[in-house]
Amino acid sequence: REPYLWPLLIYLLLVCLYPFASSCAHTFSSMSARARHICYFCDYGALSLYSLGCAFAYGAYAAPDHWVSAGLHRYFVPAAAFNSFVCPGLSCYSRFPELEHPRWSKALRTAAFVYPFLYDNIPLFSRLLFCFWNNCAWTEAVVGYCYHLLFALLTGFLFASHLPERLAPGRFDYIGEQQPPGPPRHSHQLFHICAVLGTHFQLEAILCDASSRRAWLRARLPLPGLPGTFGTAALVLLGNVAIIGAFTAALSRAP
């Protein structure tokens, strides 16, 4: 009954989706080679939808004051919706050349995650730079966004570097049990921990902004409508399902 909170609701729904999808991918990917690809296709789609949820929340509550009602602000979420098709397309495709060109595959997958992250956080970068140069008050929300960006950068570093266990492959352990043979995984678990911690700080900051800026934003922005919120989210969801279905069908033709 409160349209002002609809972007927050979409964010909350999608932010719950990506850890669930990742857990399912890690649980069921060992069933077969085909299952592994399909599981991670779904994982990439969930990350894409999470990126859209971030754009909804940032556009509705976290935009810098000088952004509000400007042209970039009006097109911020539609552009993020377009990115939500590019991200799963690139990341799903990156699994096909993985055996022949592993470095190219990893670069494509990393770019598919980094690009929407950088786009979604343009409002935060702008807001933080404005606060830094103008020496404005660092609110609780701004501090939360700083922690979020710190953990996001750490997440990306762990994903790309495979540290720390690449320093001692096969011998790195956390709780006293030697790592089994196979590709190193400990940095990937740290990757998930840092991602969820970053999301925690992001959520806390968004809740602060949604509450503290409510009167100011409602006086300057029209209330969100169903087509622009749930309609856009449903369209992107269907598009991601179609992309995942297309790449799943292509598995039968792949070596």
Q: What are phi and psi of 44, to 5 degrees?
A: -65, -40
Q: Is 37 annotated as a binding residue?
A: no
Helices 33-57 & 6-28 angle (0-180, nearest 10):
160
Neighbours of 76 (CB within 10 A): 22
pTM of the model: 0.89
Residue 101 assigned to a binding site: no
Is residue 178 pLDDT above 50, yes or no? Answer: no
pLDDT at 138: 74
For 183, which DSSP code? S
**More confident site: 189 or 254:** 189
pLDDT, position 175: 56
Q: How far apart are the first and last CA of the chain?
A: 52
SS3 210: helix
Provide the pLDDT for residue 179.
Answer: 47
Dihedral of CA atoms 61, 62, 65, 66 in degrees, nearest 10, equals -110
Six token digits for residue 29: 């990917």
Instruction: Give the span between the Cα atoms of 158 and 192, in whole angstroms.
Output: 9
Burial class (CB in 10 A: 0-12, 13-18, 19+), 115: middle
Whose CA is closest to 30, among 180, 239, 241, 254?
180
- 22, 229 contact by CB (below 8 A): no
- Name the percent of the chain lying above pLDDT 70: 92
Question: Per the annotation, does 73 bind a ligand?
Answer: no
Name the amino acid, one letter, at 119.
Answer: Y
pLDDT above 90 covers a percentage of the chain that reads 57
Q: Is the pLDDT reported for residue 163 higher than 50?
A: yes
DSSP calls for 147-182: HHHHHHHHHHHHHHH-TTGGGSTTT--SSSPPPPSS
d(CA 147, CA 161) in angstroms, rounded, equals: 21
Mean pLDDT, the chain, as a whole number?
88
Measured CA to CA, the distance from residue 63 to residue 252 in angstroms comes to 45
Residues found in the chain? 255
**188 close to 134: Cβ distance less than 8 angstroms:** no
Q: Which residue has the tokens 């922690």?
A: 147
DSSP 99-134: TT-HHHHHHHHHHHHHHHHHHHTHHHHHHHHHHHHH
Angle at 93 between CA 240 and CA 17, to 5 degrees: 35
- Say what the pLDDT of residue 223 is: 87
Q: pLDDT tens digits, residue range 188-217?
A: 788 889 999 999 999 999 999 999 999 999
- Residue in 184, 149, 152 with CA at minimum distance from that of residue 167: 184
